[in-house]
Structure 1
Amino acid sequence: MSNPTHQPRNKWMIAVSLTLCALLAVVGEMGQFHFIYGISFSLTSLFVLLSVRLFGIGGGLLTAFAAFLASAAAADHLMFQAIGLLEAFVVGLMMLRYRGRLFMTDLCFWLFVGMPLTYFFYNQHYSNTGVDIKLIACLIAINGLFNALFAEILHQYLPLSRWSGLSSIKRLPRSMSQLLLHLSLGIVLVSFLLNMLVNSINSFKEVTYYVEDIAQQATNTITKEWGASNVPYTIPMDDVSTRTLQFLIDRYTTDTYAFSLIDDQHRVVASNHHGLIGTHLDAFGEKNYRPISEYLYFSSNYNSFSQLKLHTWNDEQFLYQSKLGNGTGHIIITFPLEYYQNYLFSKYFIHIFYLIGFALVAAFVSLLINRSFTRSLQRLAVATTNLPLKLKHNNSLELPKSNTVEIHSLIMNIKHMSSSLLYLFRETQSNNERLEMQAQLLQESEERLHQLAYYDMLTGLPNRHQFTRHFQELIVMNTGTAQHLKIGVLFADINRFKQINDTLGHAFGDKLLQLVAQRFQSIACKSCDVFRFGGDEFVFLVRYREEELSSYAEPILKCFIEPFLIDGMPLFLTVSIGISSHPQDGEDMDTIVRNADIAMYNAKEEGDGCYRFFKPNLLPLIEEKMRLENGLYKALQENQFSLYYQPKINAATGELCGIEALIRWKHPDLGLVPPDKFIPLAEESGFILEIDRWVFREACRQNKVWQDAGLKQISVSVNISARHFYQGNLKEMILSELKATGLDPHYVSLEITEGVFMRNIDQVIDTILYLRNLGIQISIDDFGTGYSSLNQLQRLPISDVKLDRSFIQGITSDDKKSSIVRAIIELVHSMNMKVVAEGVETLDESRFCKELKCDELQGYLFSRPLPADELEVMLAQADPER
């Protein structure tokens, strides 16, 4: 709580301080320092500018006006004080506008305003008096700059603001460069003023000595020529003597002074100024001469030399008086002061030039000292700023170098201190690191738990927990209003997401999920909320009355029409949706969600990119899928799998040239399960790696058995999942099984899909090259249905390209399809690879493929997949030697 007496006390201190400045300005005006004849030095503007700096333009004008009134009371220096008022006003405005330094602001005033006005005013009053107006203007400007400099020094280095009650804030530190500049300029100005004060006295003495010397020489010369150097002489009484004396005076004197001989009646007998002859000259009557030496006097009516004015230069003079030896007369010599005016002013012009030169030298020296002395300190200050923070981040500490002993010692001490500080910091950090880590982990865990409790971290969508809360709230709201409000659940799953995640990586899959979530959010509305359950599963919770749930499913499907662009790759996807509603398909949330999930799997089985409503007859299908998924491991352990072999026919010769191993599963309860049912389940669970190993081993073993039996030696093709290239040790598996079965690698062919090349293609190519070097053939299966383009073929070290059966079916009646197949075959042949057409079922398709120069044919036209014993018969028949 503030002190109620604080503000009045400050106002009282400000008023007293302003009054004191005004009084000091008045004292400075009344007690001026006088230098050369008629020129003075005043400290008035020092206190005026100090008032401007402390109290602003208003306080400065009040102080200047008080000094002006004091000058007006003395009827002196009114013009100079008017310029002082203008100085306070202009400097106050500039300080208020630009907030610059006081000395530089006042320097601008005197250069562009003060000196021109001073020259103009003094030229109006003293233009015909012989006074050097330029000297007067320069001295007045120097007076003002001296006061400005010392006003800035007083304000900078004394706590005047605190003393005057203007501020209670502690003053900020001062810069070394400003201190050096103030010190150098202050020494130069003070030395100049002291020199002017001493030279003011010495210059006047120098002139008096000069005048007295000239007078004595003229007197001695004339009296010697008159012949009275050794004997007393008298006033000439006859005309001849008078003319002779006048001739000598005219010969040995000049017009710059008046040499007169007067008698005891004060009558001029002879003079080099002929107009004075015969006149009466009273040396002490007309003017009050102030004695300077035994013979020399000065014609001033003032008590001291310092009080003479500029306009009296033409009136004042020196007087030299020497009595004749017999006391009958006097020799009077008068020297007008105006003849020495230019000499005195020129000396002070030289002093001003010296001042400017020394001021520039002092500023330059201060700059050099600042660069050589303070620059090291400034660099040291910059280098040590936030020293603990720099040491904490292990930033390099670049300390400056200096040849100054003290600064060098300071730098070494700081370097030692930084090393000690770094050691202490590391010690402290090692002690606190564990606590900070635990605290950070605890905080992150709390934040993460809070976020995970209600929202999905990847997509930002509400999660399963939030869905549960919201669903329960809707059920409570639905109580008593079931006839008006219904609850629908739409379970959406991205098709082939597992394949994308495995081939392109989890980071790619995460980006895809984020883009999907953004599209789902764009179609959500007030009555439709979207949630993410996990993986690629999204659930829409709908509140509806009479409208169909299909109106909510259609926008979900349509938002997948546009491809997803990830890292420059367009990706076309579809989504399958299962729909269930409350209370029609269940009374509780778990049942509703389960039934929507069952409907979604039914949508997947019927085709990508569609939605299906839950029906009770779907439950057996889901149960069958679960039995298949759970029975895969048992099937491998109990040898429920078997291999069938489908022949490949040479298109040119019609001979058997190869076989493809195809897996079959004979379930003990469900019977023969086709691969398109259990292979996707194996891909999703990752169990496909073990299945592929078994298939490869069994195919190699069986082929080796046939070869050992003397049957035709042909290559066996085995399908390999893309997972082997990213998750399994494919090279080790191939080498291990080849070694175990003893089959030559040249009789093995691996069929891979184009999806293998979607992720880290360089690593895949390296693996394929390794296998090719072993002698294993590599074939692309289902070419044209995957993700690669035709121009990728030039990078793939493969031997065969198998055209998908979708290209073969109807090729004889579809011109576009036939053109595409023809282009593919020509391109593949141009790269020295074979083309295998699969799915050939009719003679027309076979004949057309032969015309297109396909290398090998495969399909039901030639043979369905056969068990090993039946294929053995075909091999025996195909061998011409048997």
Structure 2
Amino acid sequence: MNIKQFLPHSLGHYVNFSLLFIITFILKLYNLPFMLGVTISLASVGLFLILRLYGVQKAIISAVIIHFLFVLFFQTSVFDIVFILEIICVSVLATFMKRGNLVFWDLLFWVFVGGPLSVLIYHLMYVQHIENVFYFQSMINVTNGLLNALLADILLAYIPFHKWMTSRRDQRRGEMYIHQILFHFSITMIIVPFLLIVGITNLHSHQLEKGQARQIAVNTVNSFELELLNWRQDDLRRLQLHGAVQRGYIEDIIQKYAGDEWYNVVVLDNDSDVIIASGLSSGDIHSAKEYEEMYEKREISPYFYRYIPYESENELMRWGEGYYLYWRDLNVSNLSAVVVFPLSYFQQRMFDTYIDQFQTFIVFVVLAMGIAYLLNRLLIRRLNNLAATTTGLPRKLQQKSVIHWPNTRVYELHSLVRNFKHMSTKLVSMFNEKEDMNEQLKEQASQLRESEKSLHQYAYYDMLTGLPNRLHFQQYLQELIKTYGEDRFAVIFVDLNQFKQINDTLGHVAGDELLKKVAQRLEETVSDNVKVFRLGGDEFTVVVHPVSDEDLRQLAKKLEDLFIDPIDVMDMTLYVSASMGVSMY
């Protein structure tokens, strides 16, 4: 079995594909963190590149294999199939839709399939711990998917992947199209700055909120500590023993400074047991050691920490189950105060802001695509019309076809059309001059052929009788000897008797007429092996090739019989005889 039946492409083809597959797997494995559990995945970029460079089949198989590996080794939910459906739907759209690009096809997928399906899957698989979390996650997926499609489309347009494709069958042409450049420019200049502003604004807002939360915690704990400093030692000892009256006082203090705020205040004794916790049950509060065992801890500033569970259903929900904690020992009776800020509060604020901004994002997407469409209609269609008009322009002008030039108000395009019109006018003038020159050349060529024919006639034929002349006779003999040197041939010399007397008595005109009549009779003997020549004056030769003795006798008898009948010349009857001699070779 031929190995090419199993591996029809070159080794470089499979190496490049494998590298792209590995990069896609790594991009799927390591998402880019943004804030509060929001992550950006670039895995679809790799799959889109595989789709456009290596075909639909390899792209879909790659998506299925990567998803299977993540389900098997990284506990990804088997129902998280949007990753695969995106590639399948875009592949189908790319196959059956002649117009469009990755961004347009991916937008259709997310509007009609990906977005609604994401909301449904999140509702079925996960518990909603924050309002609108499923819609927010779906919007993030839509935004992420469209950015991946845009990035892949830009990479395919401007990076010469075709130079790295080692198989001729796989090589793609490396042209760039103006409509692509305008589309990418419009989308990038509108959407990317908008997303950067939204991202930076949200990040900055969260940093401010985080700083405000810490300041609130500091103020709350300081105020709480000042209140406790005014207590009697006896009350503080009873508080350490979790006295009901003292706990009631603590609740009043917490209510005074925290009230119905979105954060909670916890007071711990020297054994880290909960004395009082506002808005939290005792089971929700853990010791510092327990927090470190259950949560990933990060110190943000002195006494201010971020705790995130090690495991959860997904990254966004893992952060939603975490806290900002301000944990400080009080200078009163070995007590500790903890101010708890649930991260879900910050997430909720981010969700509400982003959901409002997402509507603006959709408006900007539509606006960018509208601008790209208008630019395409204004420039690209005119350029395409001009390209179609000028394609085969010389042939159209030669055929005198009517040229329909596009009309445009764009100055540069109008100048280009004007230049083409001027050039076509020059071409028409050149074609007309060419036709005139061709006619002249044809006439001159005809005259040259006639001249050549006349010169050949003058050089090799007798002008009086039309028979081949002496030069022709000599060349013919040389050719016979050179080509048929071993064959026999005969040369018969024919000389008219008393021709000089006829010429002197009857005149040269009568002599010329006689020579013509004799030549006509000699031509009656011409055949494939018999040629007649006039050497000059009254001398003629007959060349016979090939020749046998019998043929030669018959020809000699025939030549002799030619002079039996008289010849009429200028109303006179002349009896002419000839002397003949034969030379054999």
| TM-score using structure 1 length | 0.43
Q: Is the CA contact 2:264–2:279 (under 8 Å) kept in the aligned structure 1?
A: yes
Secondary structure of 1:320's partner? Answer: strand
Label 1:121 to 1:20 Cα distance change in 2 as closer, same or farther (>3 A): same
Work out the CA distance in 1 between the residues paired with 2:16 and 2:369: 33
Q: Is the CA contact 1:71–1:81 (under 8 Å) kept in the aligned structure 2?
A: no
Instruction: Specify the structure having the higher radius of gyration (Cα).
Output: 1
Work out the CA distance in 1 between the residues paired with 2:232 and 2:411: 79
Work out the CA distance in 1 between the residues paired with 2:217 and 2:140: 33
Q: Is the CA contact 2:229–2:332 (under 8 Å) kept in the aligned structure 1?
A: no
Q: Which residue of 2 aligns with 1:294?
A: 302
Work out the CA distance in 1 between the residues paired with 2:406 and 2:272: 86
Label 1:55 to 1:153 Cα distance change in 2 as closer, same or farther (>3 A): same
Work out the CA distance in 2 between the residues paired with 1:343 and 1:208: 12
Q: 1:48 Cα shift? A: 2.0
Please state if 1:414 is matched with 2:415: no
Q: 1:26 Cα shift? A: 0.9
Q: Is the CA contact 2:323–2:340 (under 8 Å) kept in the aligned structure 1?
A: yes
Work out the CA distance in 2 between the residues paired with 1:281 and 1:43: 38
Q: Deviation per CA, 1:649-707, whole angstroms, max 9, x where unpaired?
A: xxxxxxxxxxxxxxxxxxxxxxxxxxxxxxxxxxxxxxxxxxxxxxxxxxxxxxxxxxx
Q: Is the CA contact 1:29–1:44 (under 8 Å) kept in the aligned structure 2?
A: yes
Q: Which residue of 1 aligns with 2:18?
A: 19
Work out the CA distance in 2 between the residues paired with 1:26 and 1:176: 33
Work out the CA distance in 2 between the residues paired with 1:280 and 1:262: 13
Please state if 1:426 is matched with 2:437: no
Q: Which residue of 2 aligns with 1:182?
A: 184
Q: Which residue of 1 aligns with 2:40?
A: 41
Secondary structure of 1:219's partner? Answer: helix
Q: Which residue of 2 aligns with 1:109?
A: 109
Q: Which residue of 2 aligns with 1:820?
A: none
Work out the CA distance in 1 between the residues paired with 2:317 and 2:168: 45
Please state if 1:356 is matched with 2:362: yes
Please state if 1:142 is matched with 2:148: no
- Counterpart residue type for residue 324 of structure 1: L
Please state if 1:249 is matched with 2:249: no
Q: Which residue of 1 aligns with 2:124?
A: 124
Secondary structure of 2:341's partner? Answer: strand
Q: Paired residues, what number? A: 431
Work out the CA distance in 1 between the residues paired with 2:36 and 2:408: 52
| Larger proportion of helix | 2
Q: Which residue of 1 aligns with 2:480?
A: none
- Counterpart residue type for residue 111 of structure 1: V
Q: Is the CA contact 2:202–2:350 (under 8 Å) kept in the aligned structure 1?
A: no
Q: 1:431 Cα shift? A: 1.1
- Counterpart residue type for residue 124 of structure 1: L
Q: Deviation per CA, 1:796-849, whole angstroms, max 9, x where unpaired?
A: xxxxxxxxxxxxxxxxxxxxxxxxxxxxxxxxxxxxxxxxxxxxxxxxxxxxxx
- Counterpart residue type for residue 287 of structure 1: Y
Q: 1:267 Cα shift? A: 4.5
Label 1:196 to 1:125 Cα distance change in 2 as closer, same or farther (>3 A): farther
Deviates more, 1:354-363 or 1:7-16: 7-16
* Larger RCO (CA under 8 A, 6+ residues apart): 2
- Counterpart residue type for residue 145 of structure 1: L
Structure 2: gaps of 5 or more residues: 447-585
Q: Which residue of 2 aligns with 1:874?
A: none
- Counterpart residue type for residue 106 of structure 2: D
Work out the CA distance in 2 between the residues paired with 1:347 and 1:251: 31
Q: Is the CA contact 2:90–2:105 (under 8 Å) kept in the aligned structure 1?
A: yes
Work out the CA distance in 2 between the residues paired with 1:385 and 1:299: 68
Q: Which residue of 2 aligns with 1:499?
A: none
Q: Which residue of 2 aligns with 1:272?
A: 278
Label 1:438 to 1:178 Cα distance change in 2 as closer, same or farther (>3 A): farther
- Counterpart residue type for residue 125 of structure 1: M
Secondary structure of 1:129's partner? Answer: coil
Q: Which residue of 2 aligns with 1:284?
A: 288
Work out the CA distance in 2 between the residues paired with 1:140 and 1:90: 16
Work out the CA distance in 2 between the residues paired with 1:126 and 1:307: 7
Q: Which residue of 2 aligns with 1:670?
A: none
Q: Which residue of 2 aligns with 1:488?
A: none
Q: 1:59 Cα shift? A: 0.8
- Counterpart residue type for residue 320 of structure 1: Y
Label 1:433 to 1:362 Cα distance change in 2 as closer, same or farther (>3 A): farther
Please state if 1:336 is matched with 2:347: no
Write the mapping of 1:431-450 to structure 2, written as runs, cut at 5 A: 431-435=437-441
Q: Which residue of 2 aligns with 1:837?
A: none
| TM-score using structure 2 length | 0.62
- Counterpart residue type for residue 299 of structure 1: Y
Label 1:433 to 1:37 Cα distance change in 2 as closer, same or farther (>3 A): farther
- Counterpart residue type for residue 292 of structure 1: I
Q: Which residue of 2 aligns with 1:84?
A: 83
Q: 1:60 Cα shift? A: 1.4
Work out the CA distance in 2 between the residues paired with 1:315 and 1:112: 32
Q: Is the CA contact 2:53–2:170 (under 8 Å) kept in the aligned structure 1?
A: no
Label 1:200 to 1:429 Cα distance change in 2 as closer, same or farther (>3 A): same
Work out the CA distance in 2 between the residues paired with 1:145 and 1:248: 52
- Counterpart residue type for residue 177 of structure 1: H
Q: 1:262 Cα shift? A: 3.4
Label 1:415 to 1:301 Cα distance change in 2 as closer, same or farther (>3 A): same
Q: Is the CA contact 1:296–1:321 (under 8 Å) kept in the aligned structure 2?
A: yes
Q: Percent same amino acid at aligned positions?
A: 27
Work out the CA distance in 2 between the residues paired with 1:367 and 1:404: 16
Write the mapping of 1:382-531 to structure 2, written as runs, cut at 5 A: 382-392=388-398, 399-400=405-406, 404=410, 406-435=412-441
Work out the CA distance in 2 between the residues paired with 1:132 and 1:210: 24
Work out the CA distance in 2 between the residues paired with 1:314 and 1:146: 25
Secondary structure of 1:127's partner? Answer: coil
Please state if 1:151 is matched with 2:152: yes
Q: Is the CA contact 1:21–1:63 (under 8 Å) kept in the aligned structure 2?
A: no
Label 1:247 to 1:107 Cα distance change in 2 as closer, same or farther (>3 A): closer
- Counterpart residue type for residue 303 of structure 2: Y
- Counterpart residue type for residue 368 of structure 1: L
Secondary structure of 1:333's partner? Answer: strand
- Counterpart residue type for residue 169 of structure 2: S
Q: Which residue of 2 aligns with 1:68?
A: 67
Q: Is the CA contact 2:114–2:142 (under 8 Å) kept in the aligned structure 1?
A: yes
Work out the CA distance in 2 between the residues paired with 1:35 and 1:280: 28
- Counterpart residue type for residue 136 of structure 1: Q
Work out the CA distance in 2 between the residues paired with 1:413 and 1:316: 69
Q: Which residue of 2 aligns with 1:721?
A: none
- Counterpart residue type for residue 132 of structure 1: V
Write the mapping of 1:186-197 to structure 2, written as runs, cut at 5 A: 186-188=188-190, 190-191=192-193, 194=196
Work out the CA distance in 2 between the residues paired with 1:168 and 1:311: 43
Q: 1:58 Cα shift? A: 2.1
Label 1:185 to 1:10 Cα distance change in 2 as closer, same or farther (>3 A): same
Label 1:436 to 1:20 Cα distance change in 2 as closer, same or farther (>3 A): farther
Secondary structure of 2:423's partner? Answer: helix
Q: 1:133 Cα shift? A: 0.9
Q: 1:393 Cα shift? A: 5.1
Work out the CA distance in 2 between the residues paired with 1:88 and 1:155: 16
Q: Which residue of 2 aligns with 1:52?
A: 51
Q: Is the CA contact 1:246–1:272 (under 8 Å) kept in the aligned structure 2?
A: yes
- Counterpart residue type for residue 394 of structure 2: P
Structure 1: gaps of 5 or more residues: 441-882
Label 1:438 to 1:54 Cα distance change in 2 as closer, same or farther (>3 A): farther
1:373 aligned residue (348, 364, 379):
379
Q: Deviation per CA, 1:486-529, whole angstroms, max 9, x where unpaired?
A: xxxxxxxxxxxxxxxxxxxxxxxxxxxxxxxxxxxxxxxxxxxx
- Counterpart residue type for residue 123 of structure 1: H
Work out the CA distance in 1 between the residues paired with 2:284 and 2:70: 42
Work out the CA distance in 1 between the residues paired with 2:438 and 2:21: 62
Secondary structure of 2:308's partner? Answer: coil
